[in-house]
A and B are shown apart, each in its own frame.
Chain A
Amino acid sequence: MARILGGITTSHIPAVGNAINKGLQDDPYWKPFFDGYPKVHKWVQDNKPDYVINIYNDHGLGFFLDRMPTFAIGAAHEYRNEDEGWGLPALPPFPGAPELSWHIIESMVADEFDITSCQELAVDHGFVVPMQLFWPGAPNNPDMPRAVPISANTVQHPIPTLNRALNFGKALRKALLSFPEDAKIVVLGTGGLSHQLDGQRAGFINKEFDRYCLDNIVHNPEELTKITRQELVKNAGAQGTEFLMWMMMRGALGDDVTEITRNYHIPISNTAAGTLLIECAA
């Protein structure tokens, strides 16, 4: 049976992809952000996962408002990025794992989670940037695991509750642990932390609230399910609702976990950038 090695969260700001392409890791603006990743690289290299479940939120590339799935799971042989309107470079495709995708979909629908399955899915910076952060050169990295993208809706309200997000992760855990292959799996939760792009409140960041989330998510995630969606928008900013991805990831890790490393830095682009690596007991 498959094993869940752990989970990694990170912000997925498009500007990070740009900084990687330009090699700005030691630039004074970027260094405090990229300093959060060497420990993650070491852990990834030591553990070499076979599969990566990449939980992110699409930002208007893979989905439009004509059909907006609350929870979508990719079930394709490969996933391609696009320029997203900003001229981002086209990358080689990320290898998929359709047999694992369908196993997850079967298991989660049996568990009464209503999933949208996607045999074609263009992946945006929410998926791509974390891959580039954790597997430098991605997808051209010899250790690149095969991927299953999972996207949750944070574009349009109503968005899922924090409780639903955590429970989604728990059902995902059940699905992964029953995958009949001796495989190692890592789960990513991408996005956040506090930021707001739109309106007169654009530029809003909330260090105190982010700290509260970071301090609770490792050993006390249930506490965070008390946060209502309107409180999340108010306290994390309109796009800080991406914290839902962190909750989904956390639910997949179970109770016996250890924090390996974390990093938090304000600002990267408009965002309070957070990174967290949580290891599951063997």
Chain B
Amino acid sequence: MDQPGYDYHIDIPGTTLFDGKMAMKGYALNKMCYSFNQQINREAFLADEEGYMARFGLNDEQKEAIRKRDVLGLIDAGGNIYYLAKFAGIFKLSVQDVGGLQTGKTTEEFQQYLASQA
């Protein structure tokens, strides 16, 4: 999709702006993660991950990133962090755990990094 240069098309290192392009790309993935707001859906996912992903129509890139619990891969595949947080919630991961996974740090190292900015 070619679009004129609105101000959201900017380069901030390490940051994927979740705009219309990404929202279209990640729609199925985000819709699945949105469903995890309900306990019954979290259980259905855990009972049959492949079937659950197929039901929501995830593409191969999205499925692979879900299988690998690859947070950066999920973001590349169009995932929005607010919905992905509900996926992470299934595994009781905190936002510091998720921060560590994305930055190559342990959770403790990530927490130290946060505190170092005080």
Contacts and interface: CB of A to CB of B under 8 A. Distances in A.
Given A60-B86, A86-B89, A270 B114 contact: yes
Interface residues of A, number: 41
Interface string B80-118: 111111110110001110110011000000110111011
Nearest to B42: A85
B59 interface: no
A82 B113 CA distance: 32
Chain B, interface residues (CB within 8 Å), range: 35 or more
B77 interface: no
Contacts of B98: 197, 202
A205 interface: yes
A170 B17 CA distance: 29
A158 interface: yes
A266 B34 CA distance: 30
Contacts of B71: 198
Contacts, number: 136
A197 B111 CA distance: 13
Interface string A228-240: 1110011000110
Contacts of B114: 203, 205, 266-267, 270
B72 interface: yes
B104 to A, nearest CB: 9
Contact of B85 (A197, A207, A230, A265): A197
A82 B89 CA distance: 14
A272 to B, nearest CB: 8
A101 to B, nearest CB: 24
A136 to B, nearest CB: 25
A59 interface: yes
A272 B116 CA distance: 12
A71 B26 CA distance: 23
6 contacts: A60-B82, A156-B80, A157-B17, A198-B81, A201-B14, A202-B98
Interface of B: 6-8, 10, 12-20, 23, 27, 30-31, 33-34, 36-37, 39, 42, 71-72, 75, 80-87, 89-90, 94-96, 98-99, 102-103, 110-111, 113-115, 117-118
